[in-house]
Every structure is written in C-alpha cells, then in structure tokens.
Amino acid sequence: MAAMTKENMARVIEFLQENKSRGGDVSLNDVMHLAEVMSGSMHEFLTVVQPAVTEELQLIAREITRMKTEISALRANDMKTSRIPDAGRELDAIVEATESATHSIMEAAEEIMSADPSDIDAYQELVSNKMIEIFEACTFQDITGQRISKVVSTLNYIDERVTTFVEKLRIPAGMELEAEESEEERRKRELILHGPQHKGEGVSQNDIDALLNSGSQDDIDKLFD
C-alpha cells in the first residue's frame, strides 16, 4: 500500500516547525494551509485506497437498503397500531364474557341452593328455570372460542414476521443481548410467582399432600432430583 512520501512528510514537518512558537494565535488561513499540505501529502495514498473504500461503502449502502426493505416487510407499525391492540381488545372481551357467564351461573346455583324445597312443584319449576339460565350462560364458550382463534392468528402473524426478519438479517442465536431484569420480573422471582402450570407440569395435589405430610428434608430434596 502506498504511504506518505519522504518529501511530503518533510513539508508537513517544516510547516509545523515554522508555526510551533505561535501558541494559540492561529488564523483560518493557517488551518487551510495545513489542510492543503496534509491533503497533498496523502494524495498518493488516497489514490491507491479509494477503489477499495468505494467498494466497501457500496456494500454497506446495499446492506442498509436490504435492511430497510426487511424492516418494511416486518410491518411493525401495523402490528403496533392495529394487530396487537385488536388482540388486546379480544382478550378483554373474553375476560368480560367469562366473568359475566360465571356470574350468571353462580347466581342461578345460589338461588337453587337457597330455595325452599317444601313446595315440590314450585321448587321443581325454579330448578328447571335456573338450569335453562345456566345452559344459556354457557353459550359464552362458543364466542370466546372464536375470539381466542383471532388472538392465536395474530400471534402466528407476529411470529411469522419476526422469524423471517431474524432469518433475513442473519442474526445468530448467541448474539442476543442479556435482557435486564424488569421490576415486574424481580417481583415475580422474589415472591415465587409462576402462575398456573400446564397439565403435567406442576406438582399434583397428591404430591403436595405427600410433601406436607412427610416433613423430612430428604423427601423435600427428592422433589428437586
């Protein structure tokens, strides 16, 4: 690779020596002159490296364009402003519907429990009416099922987009930054809040009973093996 010639180097040294005793008294013309001497001295070097630099810059520009295309394909704004809020609304509606249905069912059951059975005909009629109310309330399951399908569809959409994005950007699995623990995560860890487990994942009531009745450290340790 070409480097600064002895002649050019000497010109820069000469310039600096001539001006070293001037302290802070430097004008714009002096700066321009130094720049001129420096650029003249680097001319040969830049002539050699320029094609390689240009090629690198073109590669970087192409990569930035490709990333912009992939970010557009992610449709992040669509997710943020439409799909995720829609899924949130569906989940809110599910909570509301299940709560309302549970309330109706419990109301009917409580009325049956507190009814006077001494008048058999009246009691039978009340039970029959309340049973119909319970069946009606159970229709929530069909609607919530459809709502849950919409939420699952949104999750699949997001999963598909993010997976494609990660693949296109060729982000290796080990490259992810260590996530900082949030306040909510810290609370969950310290207060041992795992939430409900899936079938077969948590301990059963029988295991719990055995554990509480055993009292020995050995039995407790066995559960961690």
Partner 1 sequence: MALDLQMPVLVVDDYKTMIRIIRNLLKQLGFEDIDDAADGTEALEKMKQRRYGLVISDWNMEPMTGYELLKQVRADSGLSKTPFIMVTAESKTENVIAAKKAGVNNYIVKPFNAQTLKGKIEAVFAD
Residues sharing a CB contact under 8 Å with residue 11, sequence separation 6 or more, in sequence order: 37, 40, 41
Q: Which is nearer to partner 1, 64 or 193 (CB)?
A: 193
Q: Which one-letter amino acid corresponds to residue 92? A: D
Q: How far is the CB of 122 from partner 1 (least distance, A)?
A: 22
Question: Which residues within the stretch 100-129 sit at the binding site for partner 1 (CB under 8 A)?
Answer: 102-103, 106, 109-110, 113
Site pattern 189..208 for partner 1 (x: CB under 8 A): --xxxxxxx----xxxx-xx
Q: How far is the CB of 211 from partner 1 (least distance, A)?
A: 6
Q: Which is nearer to partner 1, 179 or 192 (CB)?
A: 192
Q: Which is nearer to partner 1, 70 or 111 (CB)?
A: 111
> What token pair was written down for 75?
């449709």
* Burial (Cβ within 10 Å: 0-12, 13-18, ≥19) of residue 19: middle
CB 52 within 8 A of CB 2: no
Q: How far is the CB of 182 from partner 1 (least distance, A)?
A: 15
187 C-beta neighbours (distance < 10 Å), count: 11
Question: Which residues within the stretch 172-191 sit at the binding site for partner 1 (CB under 8 A)?
Answer: 191
Task: Indicate whether 211 belongs to the interface with partner 1 (CB under 8 A).
Answer: yes
d(C-alpha 46, C-alpha 54), whole Å: 11
Task: Indicate whether 28 belongs to the interface with partner 1 (CB under 8 A).
Answer: no
Q: How many residues belong to the site for partner 1 (CB under 8 A)? A: 25
Q: How far is the CB of 196 from partner 1 (least distance, A)?
A: 4
Task: Indicate whether 27 belongs to the interface with partner 1 (CB under 8 A).
Answer: no
Render the burial of 188-206: b for 16+ CB within 10 Å, e for the rest.
eeeeeeeeeeeeeeeeeee
Q: Which is nearer to partner 1, 40 or 202 (CB)?
A: 202
140 C-beta neighbours (distance < 10 Å), count: 19
Q: Which is nearer to partner 1, 71 or 193 (CB)?
A: 193
Q: How far is the CB of 208 from partner 1 (least distance, A)?
A: 5
> What token pair was written down for 46?
């830049």
Q: In Å, how far are 10, 12, 33, 41, 116 from 20, measured between CA atoms?
A: 15, 12, 14, 20, 110
Binding site for partner 1 (CB under 8 A): 99, 102-103, 106, 109-110, 113, 191-197, 202-205, 207-208, 211-212, 220, 223-224
